[in-house]
Chain A
Amino acid sequence: MKRALVMLAFALPCWGQDLEQRATALEKELRCLVCQNQTLADSNAPLAVDLRNQIREQLAAGRSDREVVDYLVARYGDFVRYRPPFKATTVLLWAGPFLFLLGGFYLLARVLRRRRVPAPQLTSAERERAAKLLE
């Protein structure tokens, strides 16, 4: 009995810590919609406090990280996620930088090709003059 109690006393804080870590990690991945460039972890807006409490409550109730994120996305949209999912509406967001990179390579290739001026062909008169100069 005593041993069980001791074990419980050690187990509880561990469990709490794990939960705390998960909650903190989630809060850093989610946007506060009131001050839009802050995460839920950084923001002191009343809504951020409410949402942090919600996250903690739901994790404590045994929900997975995924379920908590889905809960918020269902209410506030993909915008709450700092790492938006890859789907039809976000294709441009994810692929855009690579498209720009490709475009840059294309322009670079074009410029370089244009610069490759063919080696000048000397006329025989010029060749003779050059030979004379070199002597």
Chain B
Amino acid sequence: MKRLGWTLGVFVALVALLAIGLRLNPREVPSPLIGKPAPAFDLPLLMAPDKRFSEREMLGQVWILNVWASWCPPCLAEHPVVMRVAQSGMAPVVGLNYKDAREEALPWLERNGNPYRLIAYDADGRIGIDYGVYGVPETYVIDRKGVIRYKHIGPLTADVVQQKVEPLLKQLAGQ
């Protein structure tokens, strides 16, 4: 009887372990950048190639950096959510247009709407690498001091915004 209990216990533990393992999303690799200063960049703007934008300009406010591209279907999927976040005025949303072509990115924005306060143009994906981007879209919440507080990999959903982004923005706004 005792032996049966043991075997059963080990079996249940194994099932639990595998169940947890199967539920984890292997694509969500924890970013080593959380809690670290947002990597510096100085990029031309998508809309105005002669003007530039650096992450330093956002110091002093809590902001959202959304990495997207016109060639990326999940970006289109999350687009309404990004629009809603931007319209809610919770935080300014800055776009990082990743490995895209201007002549495709601009019509894409025209078709789908532009939620971004401004868009930095990362044509060769260099800055994307600095931010550890490996699957667009990716979204970062950056605090007043320029520290990355949260990173979401893949399309933003209403749930993620409600459960993760919104509470974090409120908490950061209060600080």
Contact = CB atoms under 8 A, between A and B. Distances in A.
A7 to B, nearest CB: 36
Interface string A47-80: 1001100100000000000000000011111110
Given A74-B32, A75-B33, A50 B135 contact: no
A120 interface: no
A85 to B, nearest CB: 13
Contact of B30 (A33, A36, A74, A77): A77
Contacts of A76: 29, 31-32, 132, 134
Given A54-B129, A75-B129, A47 B134 contact: yes
Interface string B118-150: 000000110001111011000000000000000
Chain A residues touching B, range = 10 to 19
Contact of A75 (B27, B124, B132): B132
A34 interface: yes
Interface in A32-51: 33-34, 36, 46-47, 50-51
A75 B151 CA distance: 13
Q: 5 smallest A-B Cβ distances: which pairs?
A: A33-B134, A75-B132, A77-B32, A79-B29, A76-B132
Interface of B: 26-27, 29-33, 99, 124-125, 129-132, 134-135
Interface of A: 33-34, 36, 46-47, 50-51, 54, 73-79
